[in-house]
Amino acid sequence: MIDQNFVEVNQINSFLAFIWSIDWRDPWLIGLCIFHVSVTLMAISTRNYGNFQAILFFCLILLVYFSENINQLASTNWKIFSRQQYFDSRGLFISVVFSVPILLNCMIMMGSWLWQSRQLMITLKTAQLRERLRQERQQRKLDKLKEQ
């Protein structure tokens, strides 16, 4: 049984038509866009702060996890904050304008973490090779001294 407040997904003909039908001048959508831009800037600017990024990542994943509940809440109360009823029964709108940008931010953070891990592994391996080379040189010097 579908709630009366939901918009049926089969009423949507194409993705681009769906995107163009959104009134992007709606104040809450402007706020949502500002939220996504600020989270992206925060994810990029804090890439060297692992603890903060882990907390940010966890909070963003929680927001995506609860997006279905947010969609249901927004579909019943849309008149309070919106000019139109965007919230469909399958969650297409909230997925497109809320969850996908958040998941892209999470992918940016994961990519940053992988890059940092790669750099750390390269630095570690280089240090190990230098240490091994230093020990081999030291051993050769000791061997030469023993031969004399």
C-beta contacts of 17-21 below 8 A and 24+ residues apart: 18/92, 18/93, 18/96, 19/96
Amino acid at 132: R
Domain annotation covers residue 1: no
Q: What's residue 84's pLDDT?
A: 87
Domain annotation covers residue 122: yes
Query: Phi-psi region for residue 2, left (φ > 0), alpha (ψ -120 to 50) or beta?
Result: beta
Domain annotation covers residue 20: no
Residues 84, 88, 91, 92, Cα dihedral to 10°: -80
Domain annotation covers residue 13: no
pLDDT in tens, the chain (148 residues): 445 555 555 666 677 777 887 888 999 999 999 999 999 999 999 999 999 999 999 999 999 999 999 999 999 999 999 888 888 888 888 999 999 999 999 999 999 999 999 999 999 999 999 999 999 999 999 888 888 7
Say what the pTM is. 0.79
Domain that holds residue 30: 26-147
Query: Phi-psi region for residue 92, left (φ > 0), alpha (ψ -120 to 50) or beta?
Result: alpha
Domain annotation covers residue 132: yes
Domain annotation covers residue 6: no
Domain annotation covers residue 140: yes
Domain annotation covers residue 143: yes
Q: What's residue 117's pLDDT?
A: 96
The domain tally of the chain equals 1
